[in-house]
Amino acid sequence: MMISRTLAADLPRHVGERTRIAGWLHRRRELKSVTFLVLRDRSGLAQVVLTEPSAIAATAGLPEETVLDVVGTVTANPQAPGGAELTEPTVTALSDPAKPPPFDLYRPAARATLPTVLDHASVALRHPKLRAPFEISAASVAGFRATLDELGFTEIQTPKIVESATESGANVFGIDYFGRPAYLAQSPQFFKQAVVGVFERVHEVGPVFRAEPHDTTRHLAQYTSLDAEFGYITDHRDVMVVLRDVIAGMVASVAARAAAAVELLDVTLPVVPQAIPQLHFAEAQELLAANSGEDPRGEPDLAPAHERWLSEWAAREHGSDFLFVTGYPMVKRPFYTHPDPARPAYSNSFDLLFRGLELVTGGQRLHRYSDYLAALAARGGNPAAYESYLSTFAHGMPPHGGFAIGLERWTARLVGASNIRETTLFPRDLNRLSP
């Protein structure tokens, strides 16, 4: 009779039983009269003990990473991973003998350069420490959705092929669409706003595309955007309240669903304050001018160095890994941004900084058709180019806003990766189009 498979992590619950495990041969250790096979499956590692000379000989030629099926007796052993091992095993290979991986997967640290990892991703990411960020990433996405579901948001899917560039003509990929020109969507912005009229509250997790001409550690040609948009807000502060809950939900989900990965990578999960500290853009500039040794006043945006300084300030003064900077100047925000009614040169928008880096951008959007026409006119934009988007606002739209979180950037910051490619399974950039 076929014995169903037991995961490595569950072995201790089967001591004394004849049990089947299956996994990759993570490591073989040959002692004088005993050979240990360490198998790796999705739950962890399991040790198999071979003492019969014929059994040792039969597995002697099997290289690491070969896939094995092992039936044996579960025996308690405090020195084995998890406190139990398989003895008296019958070993069957499920794959051909494996070609050696590009670096040793069994070593506690992954001794490989980033290009080696990326070139051989489907093998390299088997290393538990290289796989762990993606478990944290998956748990983060689950937390994002769970929080918004609870708040009555509806999940949507929007087109990734669009007739014209979403926000600007720059950095878009062109497509041959049945002989017509089309583009890959830089964001679901227009679509998610449009369906606020249908569902009130929507979220989408999906790919967005930027033809980034620069090769940096934090830009990709495709990344995963966690988008939310909702109506019936007073202003951007309502959006910040929801975003705070979403971030807290993501952290809680990582703690609950990816605990082993968090431990393996020695990640310190952030505490999300009930009220994340916030600074108005103008206040932030004053603070920088008074304390940072630089005077950025008059600049329309914050430089990365300023974001780092402000993040350190928030950690020092408020004990927070997060900081909202609100009220960015309208001149640096897209045309659909809602101005601050009291100070129209500033916007009802925000960035959320996390450990020194801009992680989320969001804010209130315009919701009146007449305001859109005026905003486009003031910027020299052509309303005809946005006709189907704009028409929605003529049909009755509530005050609304939303935000977008870059998933790979979030995970990179969380696990302390210096390059966003470490948290992307198969990155796409200026130079990389495969694997």
| 8 A C-beta contact, residue 172 and residue 165 | yes
Token pair in block for residue 300? 């329309």
Is residue 41 close enough to count as binding a second copy by CB under 8 A? yes
Pick one of 15, 67, 151, 373: the residue that binds a second copy (CB under 8 A).
67
Q: Is 422 annotated as a binding residue?
A: no
Q: Whole-number minimum distance, CB 138 to a second copy, in Å?
A: 4
Q: How far apart are CA 373 and CA 375, in angstroms?
A: 6
Residue 218: name the closest of 210, 229, 228 by CA: 210
Q: Is 361 annotated as a binding residue?
A: yes
How many residues bind a second copy, per CB under 8 A? 91
| 8 A C-beta contact, residue 76 and residue 83 | yes
Residue 323: name the closest of 278, 357, 274 by CA: 278
Omega before 344 cis (within 30°)?
no
User: Which one, 287 or 425, has the nearer CB to a second copy?
Assistant: 425
Q: How far apart are CA 197 and CA 42, in angstroms?
A: 43
Residues 229-258 that bind a second copy (CB under 8 A): 232, 234
Region binding a second copy by CB under 8 A among candidate stretches 73-81, 178-186, 320-328, 356-364: 178-186
Residues 363-402 that bind a second copy (CB under 8 A): 367-370, 388-389, 391-392, 394-399
Residue 46: name the closest of 11, 92, 13 by CA: 11
End-to-end CA distance of the chain: 41
- The angle at the Cα of 110, spanning 7 to 96, to the nearest 5 degrees, equals 55
Is residue 287 close enough to count as binding a second copy by CB under 8 A? no
Q: Is 409 annotated as a binding residue?
A: yes
| 8 A C-beta contact, residue 312 and residue 305 | no
Pick one of 8, 11, 19, 25: the residue that binds a second copy (CB under 8 A).
25
Is residue 421 close enough to count as binding a second copy by CB under 8 A? no
Q: Is 363 annotated as a binding residue?
A: no
Pick one of 197, 273, 277, 381: the residue that binds a second copy (CB under 8 A).
197
DSSP strand pairing (35-41 vs 18-30)? antiparallel
User: Which one, 200 or 294, has the nearer CB to a second copy?
Assistant: 200
Region binding a second copy by CB under 8 A among candidate stretches 51-59, 96-104, 337-345, 355-363: 96-104
Residues 148-167 that bind a second copy (CB under 8 A): 149, 152, 154-163
Region binding a second copy by CB under 8 A among candidate stretches 117-125, 294-302, 310-318, 328-336: 117-125
Pick one of 55, 58, 211, 269: the residue that binds a second copy (CB under 8 A).
211
Residues 76-95 that bind a second copy (CB under 8 A): 94-95
Residue 44 pairs in a beta bridge with 41
Q: Is 237 annotated as a binding residue?
A: no
Q: How far apart are CA 346 and CA 329, in angstroms?
A: 4
Residue 401 pairs in a beta bridge with 230, 364
Pick one of 48, 125, 375, 414: the residue that binds a second copy (CB under 8 A).
125
| 8 A C-beta contact, residue 255 and residue 136 | no
Annotated binding site for L-aspartate: 167, 210, 361, 365
Annotated binding site for ATP: 210-212, 218-220, 358, 406-409
